[in-house]
Amino acid sequence: MTRNLLQPKVMFNEEAFGMMAEFRLSKKLIGRLHELTSGKTLDESQMQELLDIIYPTHDKGKNNRTRIMEAGAIAAYHQQTDFPVIPVLMTDDASQFKLLTYEQALCWVHDGRNYKKLRPVVPVHREKLEEFLGMYWDYYRKLLTFKETPNSNEATRLSAEFSSLFSTKTGYPALDDRITKTLNKKSELLIALKYPEVPLHNNESELGARAQVRRRDVSLHTMTEDGTKANDTFLTIVETAKKLGVSAYAYIHDRVSKRFSMPSLAEIIRAKGVSGMDYDAG
């Protein structure tokens, strides 16, 4: 039976306690949680009872409460067997995604934007930046080519080329610092060498948020809470239908007319999940 995802579970195993340490919870707190919960899986109400024992005063330990819940929820997600655990998640390097999957892919477009933020004044520095960006996007295009026909020899060569390219010293300090930061993200930026199906950027994942911003720019804010919910629901349906290749107009008409001849968007998502995982996220 598939677990009801609306009733989240929190697991306290060694992975959870390790994440708590990464979240910089105190050894004393982790030790107490270990004594109270080691090896246990709690539902949401049981978890709240536990937190009330540890923090009887509700306005104390808010950040720690969140970190404990996050660590336990991620550990439970990794242990469940109702559906495949996603091995790779593509992000823009936001910290909240770092422990959700075992491996993380970073978006090349987001990394490239950091170079555009440089504003060199000295002419020679502008030339150095322009020259390096040319090499940067040349390398990016090589990765795109690799994804079409991946092979281990080319993966090894591209890995070595990455190290060489991002060890470049231009004499422009701000650019050299930026290049070093990219080098330090090598494993995340080159995840496509291991998983060629993973995209090199997550710009498509941002389109839903951009649609929300565009609508807000035109219509300003909603006047009531119900209006906000209606707006969010409508945009969610439209953007989700678009990503699934479903006509939003036909889908909404099907629901409003109560024909229900089309499968729900949730059913389509589940069907796509069975046929093949989509690792793009942002």
The pLDDT tens digits of the residues spanning 110-149 come to 999 999 999 999 999 999 999 999 999 999 999 999 999 9
pLDDT confidence tier of residue 90, bands split at 50, 70 and 90: confident
Higher pLDDT, 270 or 165: 165
How many helices (H) does the chain have, and how many strands (E)? 13, 4
Supply the angle between the helices 123-148 and 173-183 in degrees, to the nearest 10. Answer: 20
The two three-digit tokens of residue 24, written as one number:
């910089």
Q: Mean pLDDT, to the nearest integer, of 258-281?
A: 73
- Worst-scoring range by mean pLDDT, 41-50, 74-83, 99-108, 230-239? 230-239
The pLDDT tens digits of the residues spanning 54-79 come to 998 877 888 999 999 999 999 999 99
Q: Do residues 189 and 106 touch, judged by C-beta distance below 8 A?
A: yes
Percent of the chain predicted with pLDDT > 90: 58
Higher pLDDT, 267 or 212: 267
What is the dihedral angle through the alpha carbons of 125, 131, 137, 142, rounded to the nearest 10 degrees? -140
- Domain ranges within the chain, ordered by starting residue: 9-79, 104-193, 203-275
Q: Quick one: pLDDT at residue 278?
A: 42
Higher pLDDT, 107 or 60: 107
The pLDDT tens digits of the residues spanning 8-47 come to 789 999 999 999 999 999 999 999 999 999 889 998 889 9
